[in-house]
């Protein structure tokens, strides 16, 4: 994978560190990005400018680690008497002893580390004389924000699976009958759980997994973090938010649609239309050089002009537009850049969501979310799914 690590070099120079050290489990996206290695167990990644990536892994991971493209060296814990260190000093300080010797082998006396580096190992490393500085700028996350063409393709592939899953969810609700105000399918009440199961099975069939999905109806949908549960009601808005991860590439997609089986209230329909208008305003504002804050402001403008509160107009509001406009998507489903009041400058290769929404427990919730990549000339919408409300 093509990666421009010059920002990391600058970061190391700025804090006068010899290398950048990550000690994390295999799910840590910064470590995965830097190392290119995907392991189920914790391992250690050391970046040294001019040398590249050195890995320190368990013996079980060694064979696969040596096959990773572009890694400068791979060592095993056993090469540094790790078991003896743990026996003598305990698991945390023992791990630090092992890592300290590994650092010394690479002439690294001072290390910059991610802000979420484990404190126990950091303090124990300091006790052995290693200088450890937490990088509060989150430099690797910043590097990850700009995607290569290959990474954009990974996101696009996950988004195709996402669309298949959304179609499966929509079809279930479209086919449903309404009995006493509640959706029924295949002779049973159609629940949020049933729709989520269909979404997740569809994603699996398309090579993606995910841990959570949101299928939230009525008042549930008025809480943006409620995943939804129980029977789906007719004439109410149902928010479907799907954020799968490709099993092969580990890159995510993210999309939300809001549906209504039956007849939405006039107010709910208005909220849907205003939210779609806010989405279009955000997209119209999106181009390289503007900030995530600018795009967020475009959404707030639409909502406030339509008479709905936002956190910009009222920081204490619990109804209206009560979250950010979007976020970066990549190895993590939420990553930089932010499309929010403190959103940074947007650049070509940034992959972000645009997801305005309105919430009020007495009315329900609506959210419409597209996934886009910023390009040299503007943006490309990676989302190929209609924006329709009433089924």
- Residues near its own copies (CB under 8 A): 39-41, 59-61, 63-64, 78, 83, 86-87, 90-93, 113-124, 132, 134-138, 197, 200-201, 204-205, 209-212, 223-226, 247, 315-316, 318, 322-323, 341-342
Nearer to its own copies, 104 or 204 (CB): 204
Residues β-bridged to residue 209: 245
CB of 269 vs its own copies, minimal distance in Å? 25
- Rounded to whole angstroms, the Cα distance separating 363 from 271 reads 10
Q: Which of 330, 326, 334, 325 lies closest to 303, judged by CA?
A: 325
The residue to which tokens 């920002």 are assigned: 7
CB of 233 vs its own copies, minimal distance in Å? 20
CB of 160 vs its own copies, minimal distance in Å? 17
Nearer to its own copies, 318 or 345 (CB): 318
The 10 Å Cβ neighbour count of residue 181 is 11
- Using CA atoms, how far residue 76 sits from 42, 62, 63, 84, in Å, is 12, 7, 10, 14
The residue to which tokens 């967020």 are assigned: 296
DSSP element (H, E) containing 112:
strand 110-114
Question: What is residue 355's DSSP assignment?
Answer: -
Q: Which of 106, 98, 54 lies closest to 77, judged by CA?
A: 98
CB of 258 vs its own copies, minimal distance in Å? 18
Nearer to its own copies, 172 or 286 (CB): 172
Nearer to its own copies, 110 or 137 (CB): 137
Write the DSSP string, 139-207: HHHHHHHB--HHHHHHHHHHHHHHHHHHHHHHHHHHH-EEETTEEEETTEE-BHHHHHHHHHHHHHHTT
Nearer to its own copies, 224 or 348 (CB): 224
Nearer to its own copies, 62 or 385 (CB): 62
CB of 40 vs its own copies, minimal distance in Å? 6
Nearer to its own copies, 32 or 261 (CB): 32
**379 and 288 Cβ atoms separated by less than 8 Å:** no
The b/e string for 281-309 (b: 16+ C-beta within 10 A; e otherwise) is: bbbebbbbebbbbbbbbbbbebbbeeebb
CB of 92 vs its own copies, minimal distance in Å? 4
CB of 137 vs its own copies, minimal distance in Å? 8
Nearer to its own copies, 231 or 341 (CB): 341
CB of 311 vs its own copies, minimal distance in Å? 9
């Amino acid at each position: 994978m093509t990666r421009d690590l010059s920002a990391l070099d600058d970061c190391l120079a700025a804090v006068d560190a010899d290398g950048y050290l990550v000690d994390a489990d295999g799910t840590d996206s910064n470590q995965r990005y830097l190392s290119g290695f995907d392991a189920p167990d914790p391992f250690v990644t050391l970046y040294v400018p001019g040398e590249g990536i050195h890995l320190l892994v368990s013996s079980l991971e060694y064979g696969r680690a040596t096959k990773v493209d572009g890694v400068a060296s791979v060592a095993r814990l056993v090469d540094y008497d790790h078991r003896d260190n743990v026996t003598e000093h305990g698991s945390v300080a023992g791990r630090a002893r092992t890592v300290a010797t590994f650092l010394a082998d690479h002439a690294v006396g001072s290390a910059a580390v991610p802000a979420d580096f484990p404190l126990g190992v950091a303090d124990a490393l300091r006790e052995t004389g290693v200088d450890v500085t937490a990088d509060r700028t989150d430099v690797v996350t910043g590097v990850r924000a700009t995607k290569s063409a290959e990474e954009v393709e990974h996101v696009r592939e996950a988004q195709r699976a996402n669309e298949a899953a959304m179609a499966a969810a929509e079809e279930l609700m479209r086919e449903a009958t309404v009995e006493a105000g509640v959706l029924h399918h295949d002779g049973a009440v159609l629940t949020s759980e049933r729709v989520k199961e269909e979404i997740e099975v569809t994603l699996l069939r398309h090579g993606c997994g995910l841990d959570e999905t949101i299928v939230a109806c009525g008042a549930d949908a008025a809480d943006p973090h409620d995943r939804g549960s129980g029977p789906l009601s007719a004439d109410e808005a149902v928010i479907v938010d799907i954020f799968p991860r490709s099993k092969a590439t580990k890159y995510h997609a993210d999309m939300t649609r809001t549906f209504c089986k039956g007849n939405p209230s006039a107010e709910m329909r208005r909220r849907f239309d205003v939210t779609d208008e806010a989405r279009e305003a955000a997209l119209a504002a999106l181009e390289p050089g503007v900030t995530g804050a600018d795009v967020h402001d475009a959404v707030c403008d639409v909502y406030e002009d339509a008479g709905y509160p936002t956190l910009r107009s009222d920081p204490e509001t619990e109804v209206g537009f009560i979250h950010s406009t979007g976020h970066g998507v990549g190895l993590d489903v939420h990553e930089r850049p932010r499309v929010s009041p403190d959103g940074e400058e947007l650049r070509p290769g940034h992959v972000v969501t645009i997801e305005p929404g309105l919430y009020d427990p007495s009315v329900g919730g609506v959210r419409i979310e597209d996934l886009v990549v910023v390009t040299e000339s503007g943006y490309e919408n990676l989302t190929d799914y209609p924006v329709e409300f009433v089924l």
